[in-house]
Amino acid sequence: MRLDPRHPETEALWRAVTGAGVRSIAVVAARPGEGCSSVAEALWRRAACAGRSALLVDLNTEHPGLGARLGRPRGGERQLVTDQGVVTLERRRDPGGLRLVAGRRGTEIGERRAAMGEAQRLGHGGLGLLAEPGAAAIEAWRDPARLREAVAGWLRDWDTVVIDTAPLVAGTAQGVPGLAAAAAAEASLLVILAGRTPTSAVREASQALRKAGARLLGTVMNDRDNPSLRAELERQALRLARLAPAMAAGLARRIRGSALLGMRI
């Protein structure tokens, strides 16, 4: 699931973050699969839309997915598409992890190793990515004090830092704990998957954040499994396509264009 950085919901989140004077934000969830990465990516891109330099950090280190999510597989390499062109990340055998090797014109634009948390600046724009920190960084960042130092360092180079974290309740034994990441950031957003996340898990996550000294800025309700009435009516209309394709397309188009069905309650 990918969220539009200019969508009203993303805009509301961005205003909440900037209105609170927050520059580093951790996106957390009680359990896996609740939409943390989608929210983190949307905030990251929204920061860039606002003209800020923004760093996206994947600290769900046991199950990292942002590098693959933002890239296109190509043999042993991955390509990241930015507003400045295509940047290629090449996997190496050394502890440095991924290496930034090429930019828009195919020229060398610098090598930034991720072994100790050095971010890769994508092209010449305002987006940066730390998708796969090396083993040394992960071990160091399990210490909350070291992780706070890392976040402070990123904030010296970037206007905004967005951190995707490991689940709080179904935690990680080997990677960077989600609670440590939340406490290291200036504030956190708790993502809840509507209809799926148990109330007990939300309560446990909220209490854990409070005990860890993390500032909970608010909660994000992910309606992924609860489509709007307009979306459901459009889906049902398109089911007629096998019998009457023209009628189905026309009906779906009218549903999409309905101002009444587009109203938010």
Please name every residue paired with 160 in a beta bridge, in sequence order, or none if there are none: 54
The boundaries of the domain holding residue 104 are: 8-222
Q: In the predicted model, what is the mean pLDDT of residues 57-72?
A: 76
Q: Where are the alpha helices (DSSP H) in the chain?
A: 8-19, 36-49, 66-70, 135-141, 144-157, 178-184, 199-211, 229-238, 245-256
Whether 131 is covered by a domain: the verdict is yes
pLDDT tens for 168-216 read 986 666 788 999 999 999 999 999 998 888 899 999 999 999 999 999 9
Instruction: Scan for tokens 């706070």, then name that residue.
Output: 148
Same domain, 195 and 235: no
Cα torsion through 219, 212, 174, 32, rounded to 10: -20
What pLDDT, on the 0 to 100 scale, is given for residue 173? 67
Same domain, 51 and 70: yes
In 3D space, the residue among 130, 157, 128 whose CA is nearest the CA of residue 141 turns out to be 130
Same domain, 192 and 235: no
Same domain, 180 and 253: no
pLDDT tens for 215-244 read 999 999 887 777 778 888 888 888 898 889
Q: In the predicted model, what is the mean pLDDT of residues 29-57?
A: 91
Same domain, 110 and 128: yes
Whether 16 is covered by a domain: the verdict is yes
**Residue 121, token pair as written in the block:** 């600046």
Same domain, 158 and 243: no
Same domain, 211 and 244: no
Q: In the predicted model, what is the mean pLDDT of residues 27-54?
A: 91
What pLDDT, on the 0 to 100 scale, is given for residue 74? 38
Pairing of strands 187-193, 54-58: unpaired
Same domain, 251 and 149: no
Whether 91 is covered by a domain: the verdict is yes
Whether 77 is covered by a domain: the verdict is yes
pLDDT tens for 148-162 read 999 998 999 899 999
Give this prediction's pTM.
Answer: 0.72
The total of structural domains in the chain comes to 2
